[in-house]
Amino acid sequence: MTAMLKIIEEIYGKEVADIIKYIMEKKEVSIDELVKKFDLEPAEIRKILYALENLNIIKRRRIKNGLYLHYDFKWSVNTSMLEKIQRKIAVQHLQELKRKVQELPDIIYECPICGVKVPFEEAFEYGFRCPECGEMLVQKENEEKRRLIEKIKRLEEELGIRS
């Protein structure tokens, strides 16, 4: 959920993310509680709540406030919606990783002395010698690519996606 709040903060700002976090902690809050906590005008709080309600991130429950036919609302976070959004973000992240893994070469050339790693084209340019120390470069499997492929597999399993 922390990752989720970071994304919300990036898109909607820190204030909105803090409000969602507070509602999650309290489970259910009234506008009065939010006004007290956040030093904002009730109108501003309402504007944020309605916007979040439109996004399905939060929902409201009508409660009687004691007076005849007078109602108030309690607000809570729509957890299932948050999970859906979180999944969407995870799937997007997975797609980015897949794009990245395609760009990585299978084989790289590494210097056994200083550890410099270069793709084939660069190694060829340098005459297969280390650009730092001049040692002969050694052809190796690209471990970064292998690790990334493993990470993608794990993520796909977690998300229940079959590749």
Site residues, Zn ion (CB under 5 A): 111, 113-114, 116, 130, 132-133, 135
Q: How far is the CB of 117 from Zn ion (least distance, A)?
A: 10
Nearer to Zn ion, 116 or 152 (CB): 116
Q: How far is the CB of 130 from Zn ion (least distance, A)?
A: 3
Q: How do 71-77 and 58-64 pair as beta strands?
A: antiparallel
Nearer to Zn ion, 13 or 119 (CB): 119
Q: How far is the CB of 129 from Zn ion (least distance, A)?
A: 8
Tell me how many helices (H) and strands (E) the chain has. 7, 6
Q: How far is the CB of 132 from Zn ion (least distance, A)?
A: 4
In contact, 105 and 119? CB cutoff 8 Å:
yes
Nearer to Zn ion, 23 or 130 (CB): 130
d(CA 54, CA 57): 8
DSSP class per residue in 56-90: TSEEEEEEE-SSTT-EEEEEEE-HHHHHHHHHHHH
Nearer to Zn ion, 16 or 130 (CB): 130
